[in-house]
Structure 1
Amino acid sequence: MLIPANTKNWDAHVSQAEIVARSPGFQHLRDRIIDLTEIQPDDCVVDVGAGTGLLSLESARRGARVWAVDISPSMCEYLRAKARSGGHQIEVAVGSAVSLPIVDGFADAVVSNYCFHHLDDAGKLQALAEARRVLRPGGRLVFGDMMFTLDPRDPRDRAVVEAKVRAMLRKGPAGVVRLARNGLRVATGRWESPVRASWWQQAMLDAHFDDVSVRVLEHEGGLAHARRPPV
């Protein structure tokens, strides 16, 4: 892969994000999102929270014209380098999910993966409004995200949290430290803001999407897809 000379200046989280993106779980989730999107050659695809290009690169390989948007300049720089080295035509822009630098009715599809849980509830609703705005009539919205809460009364929420705690503890002292840090983030209100699948179902209906479907997966995540009405 082509590596720019100023690689050392990139944020450390770029390397960690690439490791996560290459994991089998995320590769499988990528394939499920891409398959649901039903990308056709020459489709215009907007990837929201593109990161290191998990969805953008695969969309481009399938013949789509891709516009990748991420809030991190480092991520955008990294994705530009990957796109150039692979010969992919991907336009990369620094931007937010709540204010996409894309004109109205431009995209055949909007995709995203593990981006929206970083937004509060109002931000999620604005992100849905932005996705609908940039989609052409009949365009598709498909995304994966964390879909659970910290409610111990809910069986799935409880099972997800317990599984995460066990996974961290298996890592030994490093896992215990990470668990303590996450606990501190929750206590101080600085943790991510995932919501349940039912929340997304209602939010997409309220945002005037059609053919709305949301389903939880075998882990903490879920898959959602919908269409902007044709008229």
Structure 2
Amino acid sequence: MFDSLNEQQKKAVEICDKNLLIIAGAGSGKTKTLTYKIAYILKNNLAKPYEILALTFTNKAADEMKQRIVNIINTSIENFYIGTFHALSLRFLRKIGKNYTIYDKHDQEMLVKDIIQSLNLDKNKFSPSKISSYISKLKNSANMEFPTKEIEKIYNMYEERLVNANAADFDNILINFINELKKNDELRLKFQNQFKFILIDEYQDTNNI
């Protein structure tokens, strides 16, 4: 099982009784090590597939991880929780009946454009694409300070319209799920008790959310 791993990677795979942070350069096999760790956990019956939460930043990385695990230990991925932060958060939200319409980048910009027009703001000064990007930046920041009153107004109207449309942009998928965990003790305890292992690929790229 470990033939393609070096000694440090093998050690990282086998440590399963405490928190572990892998620090290594690009292309050194961090994702590969994480994948083998999941396979090791399953092969040694340390957890069931549904008791492991593995988070990635891209669908491609998640799909590759699933396929590698199947190849290593020849198992089904039916009950796996391996995916992007957004995909798994949306999956969990839908399980509790939160069926949002998801707004992509184009939808966001169209909504912001409509708000800018309704406020009679100069579209050359307030670009929908730039404002949309700034809104996303604000949501991913611990600092919710607005540079102008106009942007604060746009932001508040944007959020209000999302709520009224039962919609969520990509950032709100994460924020809404976090809020559900904060306010729902039963739900939070369910996830805390369910997942014995939480593994994060490219952990250094995580933000405040």
What TM-score, normalized to structure 2? 0.28
Bigger RCO of structures 1 and 2 (CA < 8 A, at least 6 apart): 2
Give the strand-richer structure, 1 or 2: 1
Give the helix-richer structure, 1 or 2: 2
What TM-score, normalized to structure 1? 0.27
Larger radius of gyration: 2
